[in-house]
Amino acid sequence: EAAEKAKIELSSVASTNINLPFITADASGPKHLDMTLTRAKFNELTADLVEATIGPMEKALSDAGLTIDKIDKIVLVGGSTRIPAVQERVKRFTGKEPSKGVNPDECVAVGASIQAGVLTGEVKDILLLDVTPLTLGIETMGGVMTKLIDRNTTIPTKKSQIFSTAADGQSTVEIHVLQGERPMARDNKTLGRFTLTGIPPAPRGVPQIEVT
């Protein structure tokens, strides 16, 4: 709580005091923490975390097929985007001043409310498109995840692919549905499993199994 309080205060002041009496104790008695943290020191301590936000922004632009010059407005989401160093880094990356018109603590809730209005028919002049956050696929021979629907595909959507058996005379196939970006099935999240039965006996690779 003290760390969060200091973080919040340093978004508007140059330094803050962290005072935690009786934080611990040893044989000599109770110990207290009383220190001053400056914004400059805070920025130094969190510089790697701030820099780590650039990768996801680059990935989002790449997935959307956009370049920085195609972005009209930068909306910051979450209380930590009030940190001046975060805003400055975003500005340097995008070349645009982040918008201050939406409360970063409330914008997700606002978006959810708008979507609720769209679904109930109360909001008619806005279209929000939902997408798959992660790639969807199934496990195939060798424990490999075979992709069916790429991440960031607008939903609802449907895609089919033909698979076959891995052994002669195989009469059942387990369909293991996964989501994630890793090449091996074991490293992704299981969404469900079901077993397809009644496959007529045939040499491996002959049966045609359509997974949708």
Question: What residue spans define the domains of the chain?
Answer: 2-72+79-93, 136-211
Its pTM surpasses 0.75: no
Residue type, 195: T
SS3 105: coil
- Whether 2-72+79-93 and 136-211 share one fold: the answer is no
CA–CA distance, 52 with 11 (Å, rounded to integer): 19
41-55 mean pLDDT: 94
**CATH code reported for the domain at 2-72+79-93:** 3.90.640.10
pLDDT higher than threshold 90 for residue 146:
yes
Mean pLDDT of 31-52: 92
In the predicted structure, residue 128 carries a pLDDT above the cut 80: no
> Which of these CATH numbers, 2.60.34.10, 3.90.1150.10, 3.20.20.80, 2.40.30.20, describes 136-211?
2.60.34.10
Cβ-count burial 48-66 (b if 16+ within 10 Å, e if not) = eebeeeeeebeeebeeeee
Q: Which percentage of the chain shows pLDDT scores above 70?
A: 100
Is 80 exceeded by the pLDDT of residue 127? Answer: no
